[in-house]
Amino acid sequence: MEQLGRTISIPELYSELTQEDPKLVSNFVPDKASGIQQRNDFLSGRIHNPDHYYNKLEMLDLDATRQHITEIDSEIASHDELNPKYANSYHEFIDRYMRQLDMMDVARQFKAAHADEERKVLKDEYTELNIELYGQPQESVYRSLIQEKLQKIEAKLLSESAQKIKKELLELVEYNPNTTPYERFTPTSETVEWMHDVVETLYGGVLSHIPEDQEVFTAPDVKAIFTEAIEEEFGEAARDWCVDIEPAKAVSVKTSEKRIVIPEDMNNATRDSVRKLMVHEVGVHVMRSIMGAQTDLLLLQSGLEPYYDAEEGLGVVMEQALEGKFSERGVDHYVTVGLAYFEQKDFRDVFETKWRLSLLEAIDESADVTEAAIEKAKGGAYSATMRIDRGTDELPWFKDLAYYNGAIDMWRHLETIRGDDLKFMFVLLGKADPSNVAHERIMYETKTI
């Protein structure tokens, strides 16, 4: 096809498009010096709330990126080789990119705004985009999760020093012991057992690359294991994938770059944690992308919209199925979002609630509260609050709701298809939501190339 002065195929256009991935996570990371300074000033009490400098966000030329994506959208939509059945899927994928760019634009404007009215308008715009992209937190779920935490604390026999901190906590968040419990979904033991058998069989190959006689692993160890597993288990289909060691907070898969990133400071990962990383990162994020690349719909490499909750949810499900035990994941993220969104707490008040909550959850009965325990709890609470408020330092980002919502949704779906091999095939066919009827129909229509 020749358009806009060039001849280019749909695969080339798709590759060009994915290079424009908005990368909210990396752009919502503050300048390193700013991050260290703000954390120190906040924890020492010199400032009420942090005010980070997001250097990557500031340097983005969002207008140029929008223009380029719009041009690619036009080229794909009018391309002679475009399968009409997939036209809407490409449009939805591109639309998500545009909304992510809009979200970064609004975040940047919000950071620079000072007038109350302007900030209110931008806050509303940010929240609307947040909900469109990541879904809206449910107040009934939030209330249930935090009340359950408070009930467990209330049932503890606490020392005098811990009782003092509990009193402070209950001045920050309401506890009602008479609240009617909200019934949250739990898969049956039969489904968990079925999935345990599935995972053991499905991932036996990649898991076999983890040495059985080694209990502690460093970043180079994990890189070598992942590289070997990908090369030997996926062969030529994974020829462009690589594993890198970089400064990072956690292991992550960058699908648009076909890379797995291992944190350089990973020094003592346990064998159990590496097994879970293998089924989550390689078995879901990498494998579903590779499987999607074997079809005639390129988007299955990156994700049919909406797919994010299902993607992260499946990663959690595979970890839990490997262990043979269900548990709610992402609860702390949900509570942090709820404190900011439903309680309208600012960064400081979320932090003050979080560190007391985590300390009292972790403390042994009758144990005195030590300064070391307080310092540890405050460090964790700062990181947890920063993770939710990153990008603006004030507005909660709903992205991490996916760990809770996605896992529950995927377990619920697996509950309905237990024992159906054909239905389960669509779970791994590509990056899509197998519980989404529209996605299922599209996957039925795809062809292997």
Contacts of 385 (CB under 8 A, 6+ apart): 336, 347, 350, 351, 354
Select from 386, 313, 315 the least CA-distant residue to 347.
386
Confidence of residue 53 (pLDDT cuts 50, 70, 90): very high
Angle, helices 189-202 vs 308-323, to 10°: value is 90
pLDDT in tens, 396-444: 999 999 999 999 999 999 999 998 888 888 888 899 999 998 998 888 8
| For residues 221-244, average pLDDT | 95
pLDDT in tens, 123-158: 999 999 999 999 999 999 999 999 999 999 999 999
Cα–Cα distance measured from residue 195 to residue 322, given in angstroms and rounded to the nearest whole number: 8
Cα–Cα distance measured from residue 259 to residue 263, given in angstroms and rounded to the nearest whole number: 13
Quote the mean pLDDT of the chain.
Answer: 93
**H-only helix segments in 156-307:** 160-172, 189-202, 204-207, 219-234, 271-277, 287-293
**H-only helix segments in 363-429:** 371-389, 402-417, 421-428
pLDDT at 190 over 80: yes
Select from 203, 152, 111, 199 the least CA-distant residue to 395.
111
Q: Which residue has the tokens 């390193």?
A: 32
| C-alpha distances out from residue 126 to 109, 184, 447, Å | 10, 29, 39
| For residues 77-82, average pLDDT | 92
Cα–Cα distance measured from residue 247 to residue 112, given in angstroms and rounded to the nearest whole number: 28
Cα–Cα distance measured from residue 176 to residue 151, given in angstroms and rounded to the nearest whole number: 9
Q: Which residues pair with 253 in a beta bridge?
A: 260
Query: Half-sphere exposure of residue 22, counting CA atoms within 13 Å on the CB side?
Result: 21
pLDDT at 3 over 60: no
Residues 342/132, Cβ–Cβ less than 8 Å: no
Say how many residues make up the chain.
449
State residue 5's pLDDT score.
Answer: 52
State residue 6's pLDDT score.
Answer: 59
Cα–Cα distance measured from residue 408 to residue 331, given in angstroms and rounded to the nearest whole number: 11
State residue 273's pLDDT score.
Answer: 96
| For residues 232-245, average pLDDT | 94
| For residues 99-119, average pLDDT | 96
| For residues 314-333, average pLDDT | 94
pLDDT in tens, 19-46: 999 989 889 999 989 999 999 999 999 9
Q: How far is CA 250 from the centre of its chain?
A: 11
Cα–Cα distance measured from residue 309 to residue 164, given in angstroms and rounded to the nearest whole number: 39
State residue 440's pLDDT score.
Answer: 87
State residue 250's pLDDT score.
Answer: 83
What DSSP line would sit under 295-318, residue for residue? BS-GGGGT-PSS-HHHHHHHHHHH
Peptide bond into 11 cis (omega under 30): no
pLDDT at 2 over 50: no
Tell me the percentage of the chain whose pLDDT exceeds 90: 83
State residue 395's pLDDT score.
Answer: 97
Tell me the percentage of the chain whose pLDDT exceeds 70: 99
pLDDT at 4 over 70: no
pLDDT in tens, 355-390: 999 999 999 999 999 999 999 999 999 999 999 999
Contacts of 407 (CB under 8 A, 6+ apart): 312, 313, 316, 317, 320, 328, 329, 330
| C-alpha distances out from residue 233 to 207, 242, 296, 317, 426, Å | 10, 14, 22, 21, 20
State residue 204's pLDDT score.
Answer: 95
pLDDT at 1 over 60: no
The three-class DSSP label of residue 158 is: coil
pLDDT in tens, 273-306: 999 999 999 999 999 999 999 999 999 998 998 8
- Return the domain boundaries, the chain: 2-134, 139-184+347-393, 189-328+403-445
